[in-house]
Amino acid sequence: MAGVQVANVSRSFGAHKALDNVSIDFADGGFYALLGPSGSGKTTLLRQIAGFDFPDAGRIAIGGESVERVPVEKRRIGMVFQNYALFPNMSVADNVAFGLSVRGEPKATIATEVQRALDLVQLGKLGGRKPHQLSGGQRQRVALARAIVTKPRVLLLDEPLGALDKALRVDMQIELKRIQREIGITTIFVTHDQEEALTMSDRIGILRDGQVVQEGPPEEIYDRPQSEFAATFLGDANIFRGDATGSGIKLPDGTTIKASTGTSVPAGAKASCAVRPERIRISTGAAKPDPANANTLKGQVSKRIFAGNNSTYFVDRDGQTLKVIVQNTGAERLAEGQPVVLSWSPDSTVLIAAA
């Protein structure tokens, strides 16, 4: 096992900077999710680490050893491709055996290792099948077994669950996480899916246009996004823009919003505040204001979407539509068009310096 250090890595295709001075430290044994919109450079970064492509500048080290001059087959990585890339001419067992057999391991060792890997992904009985006789989820697990049977130092996964339907995806997320814990391998996981990133990883890196926007544990990124992009890309957020006051911001209409988390922005500079929809209270205004929820705004319900255990209210306020999510406790239900008061705590309000 080994950690991976990516330091100041840049990679351009023609004039397009696919990676722009990217530095991330992937801790040994950690589960790291790379998240970002399409074209943000996630695959490109993974390919630099794997050695399929080489950076124009910067340094990549695996287990403390610089790998600039190390070809793919010597890097001892395991990779799971988005399309699984199983060898169609080989049986499941032969696919899994491939990495051991090119290394020249004895036949008996290969057989036991392959069986162990297939058991680990719960496909112990399907070794004799050909890849085309498997379902999508089974193929995905074969690809995983094939990647880990060689005991790589790092496991790289490029949107491995992208082709699966929702239910299977959740099953596979749990299974992948279980296997990763069991063998304790450093894992770098590329995904489009923010929920997947939040539930599975120890740390998340958000990429945008080839740059790392923010990087840290999921809770930290969710609770203290450092940019509007991070706030809206990972989860939902209501964004208010105005001028910094030192303890929050002042909106153009004079309303002040207090914020006690986030970066400090000098008074007078442009800044924004982000508030998660589930942190906002919504009421008809009849009840006494709660001093803990010092931020209040008046608005009007424009739409309500019922989603079983919760409801999302869209509230119009001074030309802006705010989103509020409330648990359905069976109590009051607010009608569309009803005037409401929104309130939330400064602790739930993140101050962000304007880009």
Ligand X SMILES: Nc1ncnc2c1ncn2[C@@H]1O[C@H](COP(=O)(O)OP(=O)(O)OP(=O)(O)O)[C@@H](O)[C@H]1O
Whose Cβ is closer to ligand X: residue 44's or residue 150's?
A: 44
Say how many residues touch another protein, by CB under 8 A: 25
Residue 110 structure tokens: 């290969």
> Looking only at residues 30 through 69 of this chain, which bind another protein when binding is defined by CB under 8 A?
50, 52
Distance in Å, CB of 71 to another protein, minimum: 8
Q: Are 22 and 10 in contact (CB under 8 A)?
A: yes
Q: Which does 153 bind (CB under 5 to 8 A by kind): another protein, ligand X, Mg ion, none?
A: none
Q: Which helix (H) or strand (E) holds 221?
A: helix 218-223
Name which of residues 34 to 73 contact ligand X (CB under 6 A).
36, 38-44
For residue 50, the partner it binds in another protein, Mg ion, ligand X, none, with Cβ less than 5 to 8 A by kind, is another protein
The single residue among 38, 89, 112, 309 that binds another protein, judged by CB under 8 A, is 89
Q: How far apart are CA 280 and CA 258, in angstroms?
A: 14
Indicate whether 99 belongs to the interface with another protein (CB under 8 A).
Answer: yes
Site size for ligand X, by CB under 6 A? 12
Which distant-in-sequence residues (6+ apart) come within 8 Å of 326 by Cβ?
Answer: 278, 282, 310, 311, 313
Q: Given the complex with ligand X, which of 18 and 143 has the nearer CB atom?
A: 18
From the CB of 53, what's the least distance to ligand X, in Å? 7
Smallest distance from ligand X to CB 81, Å: 12
What one-character-per-residue DSSP string does 142-173 give? Answer: HHHHHHHTT--SEEEEESTTTTS-HHHHHHHH
Do 113 and 149 touch, CB atoms closer than 8 A?
Answer: yes
Map tokens 């958000």 to a residue.
206
By beta carbon distance, the residue nearest Mg ion is 43
**Pair of tokens at residue 243:** 């001028």
CB of 34 to another protein, least distance (A): 17
Q: Which of 81, 42, 46 is nearest to 163 (CA)?
A: 81
| Closer Cβ to another protein, 81 or 314, answer by number | 81
- In the block, which residue shows the tokens 């009985």? 125
Residue among 43 and 180 whose Cβ is closer to Mg ion? 43
Strand ranges (E), 28-68: 31-35, 57-62, 65-66
**Residues 185-224 vs ligand X: string with x where CB under 6 A?**
-------x--------------------------------
Q: Map residues 119-138 to x or -, x wherever contact with another protein holds by CB under 8 A.
A: --------------------
Buried b (16+ CB within 10 A) or exposed e, 88-122: eeebbbbbbbbbbeeeeeeeeebeebbeebbebbe
Selection from 43, 147, 175 nearest residue 86 by Cα: 147
Q: Which lies closer to ligand X via its Cβ, residue 44 or residue 95?
A: 44
User: Does 43 help bind Mg ion (rule: CB under 5 A)?
Assistant: yes
Least Å distance, CB 221 to ligand X, is 18
H-helix or E-strand spanning residue 187: strand 186-191
Distance, in Å, from the CA atom of 48 to the CA atom of 294, rounded to the nearest integer, reads 48
Nearer to another protein, 85 or 354 (CB): 85
Contact residues toward ligand X (CB under 6 A) are 13, 16, 18, 36, 38-44, 192
Q: Which residues bind another protein (CB under 8 A)?
A: 50, 52, 71-74, 76-79, 81, 83, 85-89, 98-99, 102-103, 146-147, 150, 156
